[in-house]
Amino acid sequence: AQSVAQPEDQVNVAEGNPLTVKCTYSVSGNPYLFWYVQYPNRGLQFLLKYITGDNLVKGSYGFEAEFNKSQTSFHLKKPSALVSDSALYFCAVRASGSARQLTFGSGTQLTVLP
């Protein structure tokens, strides 16, 4: 079975400061990892993914994520937060042997304070 943990329900950060949203995973075999963002009254929007290769993945809106196999983590980061980054962030994982099932975490609400 595969699972995703987002240990923080809420993350607050001041505008201009770096932000980190944490994600750890459990999966058999090689993981495919994803970050999605959800703005109020909207569906989930794809941010970035890790498939293979470089452990640092760059995505939309200046976000990046670092894959750490030994710590089974895939934390989302941004060097300088914007108020407009305030949203609900979801981490998700798919095992390499699965064509369809994507397991999501419970989400982390990011609030960037002006």
Query: Which residues would be at the binding site for another protein (CB under 8 A)?
Result: 4, 9, 32, 34, 36, 41-46, 49, 51, 90, 94-107
**Nearest-angstrom CA–CA distance, 84 and 7:** 23
- Residue by residue, what is the 3-state secondary structure of 18-78? CEEECCEEECCCCEEEEEEEECCCCCEEEEEEECCCCCEEECHHHCEEEEECCCCEEEEEE
Nearer to another protein, 20 or 98 (CB): 98
Residue 20 tokens, joined:
């980190």
| H or E segment to which residue 4 belongs | strand 3-5
Nearer to another protein, 63 or 90 (CB): 90
Nearest distance in Å: CB 75, another protein? 18
Nearest distance in Å: CB 11, another protein? 15
Nearest distance in Å: CB 13, another protein? 20
Give Cβ neighbours of residue 43 (< 8 Å, ≥ 6 apart): none
Nearer to another protein, 17 or 60 (CB): 60
Nearer to another protein, 78 or 94 (CB): 94
Nearest distance in Å: CB 92, another protein? 8
